Structure 1
Amino acid sequence: MVRGSLGKLASRLSVAGRWHQQLRRLNIHEYQERKLMMGSTISTCPRGAAAGSFQGGQGRLEEHVPQREELLKSQILAGGRGLGTFKSGLQGGVHIVKAEEAESIASKMLGQILVYLCEKLSLTNEMYFAITLDRKTAGPLIIACSKGGTSIEDLAEKYPDMIIKVPIDVFKGITDEDAAKVVDGLALKAADRQSSIEQIKKLYELFCKCDCTLLEINPLAETADNKLVAADAKLNFDDNAAFRQKEIFALRDTTQEDPREVAAAKADLNYIGLDGEIGCMVFPVQNIIVNFPTRCQVDLKVPVVVRLEGTNVDQGKRILKESGMTLITAEDLDDAAEKAVKASIK
């Protein structure tokens, strides 16, 4: 079990919180994610329904969630939806509502997006849990924190010593010992330890079975009746697994994806739209013939960061150094990213 700063890892996890999702990481809606988790017998909110219209829908939804207070959630492929504003002027995409208020508030969301009306759980302890793919360990990595309900970036900044990281051996899979490290690190207040260990193992099994690149539960919570539940979830899926995850990829909502990426995918092009002011040029090759121009008469007006690896790398770095060009060299991708960001804000 490793504890420490999660700055770099947090930035990767935050990909799930963008309005437009990268095509190589399919993202589906919360109500769809809940169905997947319930199908794997993972404890989650058991009652709820999604709707695109409230015409005659009030009674139908209340059949699923008949209690006094309910959660009304906008279904967008992004995190931080509680901070957004609708065109109708409605502030926030998550509301606690009474049954008689549901139709009025939902009408200010509907017509633009789906809404999900679900049971409001009584939570006594909120935590953070995620499984992602880690380049350094070349396998799945569980990240958890005994604090939750806020972004992983904030948690890593405020509680760096409370972050738990448990790498999983991709060949052995998750063990009881791995799951126990997570559960013990979460410092559960009342939920049964052994059943919680089983829940962690089921989450990992779902991650593998569905070819996820990210499974984020925020919050993972204890309820008033001492159960451990996934109160909210965000799942990303590897686009390379579309051929064997046809049912999941049929759930794709292209209306909430970057239209540039959707158009590129239809033309079988690999394209990922990027925000910000840093350009990324990548040369993928499928054989040993690589074609580069030998001389470019270009007056560089922006910083250029170069990460060079492979055969004769030392010779290549020497040539770059002696070229007289204003280049910034980097040792690895993380170093290159940090130097690019630093150079862009000067």
Structure 2
Amino acid sequence: RCRLQLLLCVPGGRRRLLCLPPHLTRPLPMQSLQSNPRRWLNLQEYQSKKLMQDSGVTVQRFFVAETPSAALEAARKLNAKEIVLKAQILAGGRGKGVFNSGLKGGVHLTKDPAVVGELANKMLGFNLTTKQTPKEGVKVKTVMVAEALDIARETYFAILMDRSCNGPVMVGSPQGGVDIEEVAAKTPELIFKEVIDIFEGVRDEQALRMAVNLGFKGPLERQAADQIKKLYDLFLKVDATQVEVNPLGETPEGRVVCFDAKINFDDNAEFRQKDVFAMEDMTESDPTEMEAAKYDLKYIGLDGNIACFVNGAGLAMATCDIIDLHGGKPANFLDLGGGVKENQVYQAFKLLSADPKVEAILVNIFGGIVNCAIVAKGITKACRELELKVPLVVRLEGTNVQEAKRILSESGLPIMAANDLDDAARKAVASIAKK
């Protein structure tokens, strides 16, 4: 999405599009311009580092293991002064996490390779709970065994898409290894920005200027500038919307190393990044979210009891807020999007009615893109075939709304019509209170 907007918004870009490198001018297939069910691509830490390594970016030497014996063998192969063992899950706060095996911490340092095998034995196959995981934690299936390097100094560096600049921007700070938002709030003068011309890429003088602003000195200036240019090459090669390195550090031996990385991808580029998207680990994804994605629905589970079925993320958030304002608690938000089909509505109701927490359903459809009559047909079909047992409140506004209201009113189903969102929220909350 961001790449497409960039190309359309570049000043004077009507004919300059022809001058773009082949990587950026390959046409998008029609299916990629439609709504994509994937919300984001999640990669494990070792997968991001492998992509960086393949682009010539300097990272720690590492191996990946799925058994304790493989972890022990990897530690011996590294032949490093110190080794770091990291549990691989799609959640932050691993260092302070706890395993249900009793082991504390998902990140461990040791100088003894034998200890790596012992630690891996308490990680692999066990659940790790952190501040970002569910209460039961996430099962660890792989560990990364890496060379532990001393860091003499930490900096922050990122490349991301910036709408205000109509393209990619480099952002850096000599204050790395910490929350960059905190740095921006307390010391904004330590945040440096370089706008990248999409036709020229990162110029040598830009890379060197950023390296100097990050505090690299002497021979490290050129080394850091080289890493910056290689990170931009990676950014283009994998159709990234963000490459964030925190920290980009220097070692006492005089090396510039990317110690950690977060990469976000343009989901509309999946058709030409098949190898990258094939790396995604789906085992940690929520089953309901994955089922919703099959029908091009966006589902986020919450802990309340009133299901929200809407079209548009902004409307979903507003619906959740108004339910809460009237004393209710949203059980989810489920976004239908703009390309509505009757079967999507049916599948949405199937997902919502299968949730034991749901005690009422609120449908809030508003806008000119969505055909309300199609939504109404999907609602009546779902109510009959699924034998809906919970109260249903429906607010429809937009294209063919009068036809939609007629379909609902003549259905003979116990559907509560609402005049507006406030009325719908009141009725949904009241329907539960009556039980």
Q: Please, what TM-score do these two structures have when normalized by structure 1?
A: 0.72
Which residue matches 2:428?
A: none
CA distance in 2: counterparts of 1:130 and 1:232, whole angstroms: 11
Q: Is the aligned partner of 1:171 residue 2:199? A: yes
Q: In the alignment, what sits opposite 1:92?
A: 105
**Aligned pair in 2 of structure 1 residues 244, 58: CA closer, same or farther (>3 Å)?**
closer
Q: 1:300 aligns with which of 399, 417, 422?
A: 422
2:44 is aligned to 29
Asked whether 1:210 is paired with 2:332, we answer: no
* CA separation of 1:38 and 1:258: change in aligned 2, threshold 3 A: same
AA aligned opposite 1:97: T
Which of structures 1 and 2 has the bigger CA Rg?
A: 2
Instruction: Report how far residue 64 of structure 1 moved.
Output: 3.0
Question: What is the identity, as a one-letter code, of the residue corresponding to 2:84?
Answer: L
Determine if the alignment matches structure 1 residue 105 to structure 2 residue 119. yes
The answer to whether the Cα contact below 8 Å between 1:27 and 1:237 also exists between their aligned partners in 2 is no
Against the structure 1 CA distance between its residues 225 and 297, is the aligned structure 2 distance closer, same or farther, given a 3 Å change threshold? same
Residue 53 of structure 1: which of 62, 67, 78 is its match?
Answer: 67
Give matches, 1:77-226, under 5 Å.
77-98=90-111, 99-111=113-125, 112-113=139-140, 114-189=142-217, 191-226=219-254
**Length-normalised TM-score, structure 2:** 0.58
Task: Pick 1 or 2: higher relative contact order, CA cutoff 8 A, min separation 6.
Answer: 1
> What secondary structure does 1:195 align onto?
helix
Aligned equivalents of 1:231, 1:41: Cα separation in 2: 14
| 1:123–1:222 contact (8 Å) kept in structure 2 | yes
Cα deviation, residue 67, structure 1: 2.3
Higher alpha-carbon deviation: 142-151 or 253-262: 253-262
Match of 1:280 among 305, 311, 317: 317
Partners of 1:301 and 1:125 in 2: how far apart?
Answer: 57
Which amino acid in the other structure matches residue 48 of structure 2? Answer: E
Q: Residue 44 of structure 1 aligns to which amino acid in structure 2?
A: V
CA contact (8 A) 1:48 1:64 kept: no
1:238 maps to which of 262, 266, 276: 266
CA positional deviation for 1:163? 1.2
CA distance in 1 between counterparts of 2:196 and 2:276 reads: 24
- Determine if contact 1:23/1:261 at 8 Å carries over to the other structure: no
**Cα distance in structure 2, aligned partners of 1:139 and 1:272:** 30
Change (3 A) 1:173 1:107: same
Deviates more, 1:62-71 or 1:249-258: 62-71
Q: Name the CA distance, whole Å, in 2 between partners of 1:257 and 1:63.
A: 34
Cα gap change, 1:62 to 1:293, in 2 (>3 Å): closer
Mapping 1:312-327, distance limit 5 Å = none
| Residue identity matched to 1:26 | L
More displaced 10-residue stretch of structure 1: 288-297 or 93-102: 288-297
* CA distance 1:26–1:297, change in 2 (3 Å): same
Per-residue CA deviations over 1:39-63 (Å, capped at 9, x if unaligned) read: 1111111x22111211x32542123
What residue ranges of structure 1 are gaps of 5+ in the alignment?
1-21, 304-346
Cα separation, 2, equivalents of 1:302 and 1:130:
44
Aligned length: 279
Answer with 174-183 or 69-78: which moved more: 174-183
Cα distance per residue 1:201-232 (max 9 Å; x no partner): 11011011101122111110001221111011
Q: CA deviation at 1:148?
A: 1.2
Question: What do residues 112-134 of structure 1 show as CA deviations (whole Å, max 9, x unaligned)?
Answer: 21111100012111111111222
Cα separation, 2, equivalents of 1:63 and 1:146? 35
Which whole-Å deviations, capped at 9, do the CAs of 1:106-156 have from their partners, x for residues lacking one? 222111211111000121111111112222222112221101112222332
Distance in 1 between the 2:302 and 2:176 partners? 28
Tell me how far apart the structure 1 counterparts of residues 196 and 202 of structure 2 sit (CA, whole Å): 6
CA contact (8 A) 2:85 2:109 kept: yes
Contact 2:72 2:114 in 1 (8 A): no
**Distance across 2 between alignment mates of 1:175 and 1:187:** 19
Displacement of 1:285 after TM fit? 4.8
Measured in 1, the distance between the counterparts of 2:275 and 2:288 equals 24
Find the residue that maps to 1:90 and give its secondary structure. coil
